[in-house]
Structure 1
């Protein structure tokens, strides 16, 4: 078991031994607050983009549902004739940076799996790279835009933002409510007080807060269809292959559609798959996420061997109506509306 997976399991189970990491958490907190103060005091410059910026992020390590939310917002804003562009760190991508993400032309190996997935789902103009200012400037050189959405970047203090949404996974919660590495918090919970919080519930959970979302599980589709493609059978056995921040959500989503006989194969978030990762001694079909499928597709096109069926489980963020009402209020405050 990798160190990353081991400590993630400890966070999930709130293991008592994590207390030995508390001194490191104090160091992390001090460094974090010092860095933040450097920007707030003006000692380090903050970039103000020429158009409004919206940041969508979280205060935890691991998946919170941020990417499906972003995809849904891009679709909604585009339908409202608001010209939106997206920037991202491009975590896991090899670069060079900054660079544009072009659907069908840019590899997830170069720009990261999440940017490739976002552009594949929406066709949105997107730039990736660790310097957000350079990303925005590259986008604006290439496109006429009304709004920039930053995929993550909540703790990127060098970027000014007019709108800030923080996604909180209500099922996962905040664990032991400790900062890294004793817990999985990037920032204290008090950080939520000054931003819009979107509460991510499961579909079956009660949703007492007005600003909430859940993930609607769609019909699985084949990544590698053939003329003799099988139909999806949820009662059969699968190899579940997943490399996301919170893999438990994927297996819970499978259970929603009746897939419960799953041999679980979990990999680190943003894992760079090799062919051996998806080759097993039996002929059971595979099932995976759309984010993972972006990278597995490359293996299919590069391989001369025949793979077993690989099913992809799509999910779509469903937002409460108050989320959209609030969004348009915030956009109006930025003097931004559709064309």
Structure 2
């Protein structure tokens, strides 16, 4: 752990304890906003709403989890629509339906990545409630899944999933800015599922009994498995094992770049790290590499490098792997939520 964030938030102790009054103020303001948002909600939506998020700052694997849940829902006959704030993008008008050709500077990197990865509608709007209503008016689908919306309380929701990185956990357990927590750990009592990214899978049918002291009946493991290496210019695909023994310049502008670098090392690559801030807007000079090096990046970063990436640029795609018992529990919960809202939706999904 070498970055200031890792040292201050995820290392031993609380070196920023002097900022405790700001953490107290942060908690007071966030809880006030939460209460006002909950009190202002006077509606529900006619379809199930799933929210994937985290209570810690930084990357935890929310987008791959969202993509996997979308895949499973489609296999069961659902028609999911992804909602996103579109962080890092700025459009002249909202709501925005993301297309494969939408510039990431307009829609944001994660929405474009999800649109390309899943092929399902992705609606971007800083006001997720407005985006949700628009998606339903346009008849884009019959279930909404919000990527990174746990603290967007104005959006009605039926299922909440809180995602953690197994190695980082809850860090020093303090609220921002002393620690990485966006909300107190008590918030986990109100979510439906806790997902731990990087934890070893339990025995089939078993759940994780405890994580970071959180007492929750539905804690489940997830792992991100390398799926393929895709050349950003030619589209050529090779197995991730092709990196074994290769010199790699690893480029990452994500919330937790060390996880990406470690994945490449586990594949046998000799890695030269090039970490950038989350949602970094890449320039051609950021992608400079040696003549004999492989330039490897994440799918989230790759969508911002189309058009100027060198010929040795490769994208490592990953798949979120979840236990079958969890996926079945999630689908069961989805059906239960849909029955009082829109019975015919459940019938169609069961028939599909």
* TM-score after normalising by structure 2: 0.85
Q: CA deviation at 1:271?
A: 0.7
- Given the alignment of the two structures, is residue 48 of structure 1 paired with residue 54 of structure 2, yes or no? no
Q: Deviations over 1:234-269 (max 9, x none)?
A: 21211110011111110121122112x111110111
Counterpart position of 1:318: 321
Counterpart position of 1:304: none
| Cα distance in structure 1, aligned partners of 2:221 and 2:113 | 23
Distance 1:155 1:97, change over 3 A: farther
- Given the alignment of the two structures, is residue 187 of structure 1 paired with residue 183 of structure 2, yes or no? yes
Residues 173-322 of structure 1 mapped to structure 2, 5 A cutoff: 173-202=169-198, 209=208, 211-225=220-234, 232-259=242-269, 261-280=270-289, 284-300=293-309, 307-322=310-325
Q: CA deviation at 1:225?
A: 2.7
Q: Please provide the CA RMSD for this pair.
A: 2.4
- Asked whether the equivalents of residues 225 and 321 of structure 2 are also in contact (C-alpha less than 8 Å), the reply is yes
- Given the alignment of the two structures, is residue 133 of structure 1 paired with residue 129 of structure 2, yes or no? yes
| Cα distance in structure 1, aligned partners of 2:130 and 2:67 | 22
Q: Deviations over 1:275-303 (max 9, x none)?
A: 11112465522111111111111434xxx
Q: CA deviation at 1:106?
A: 1.1
- Given the alignment of the two structures, is residue 147 of structure 1 paired with residue 143 of structure 2, yes or no? yes
Give the alignment partner of residue 102 of structure 2, picking from 95, 106, 117: 106
Stretch moving more, 283-292 or 79-88: 283-292
| Cα distance in structure 2, aligned partners of 1:47 and 1:157 | 12
Q: Deviations over 1:34-83 (max 9, x none)?
A: 1122234x3x3455223221111110111111110100111111121101
| Cα distance in structure 1, aligned partners of 2:231 and 2:99 | 19
- Asked whether the equivalents of residues 63 and 244 of structure 1 are also in contact (C-alpha less than 8 Å), the reply is yes
Give the alignment partner of residue 10 of structure 1, picking from 5, 8, 11: 8
Distance 1:8 1:98, change over 3 A: farther
| Cα distance in structure 2, aligned partners of 1:32 and 1:312 | 37
Counterpart position of 1:38: 36
Distance 1:39 1:299, change over 3 A: same
Residues 25-104 of structure 1 mapped to structure 2, 5 A cutoff: 25-40=23-38, 42=39, 44-104=40-100
* TM-score after normalising by structure 1: 0.88
Gaps of 5+ in 2: 209-218, 340-344
Stretch moving more, 117-126 or 217-226: 217-226
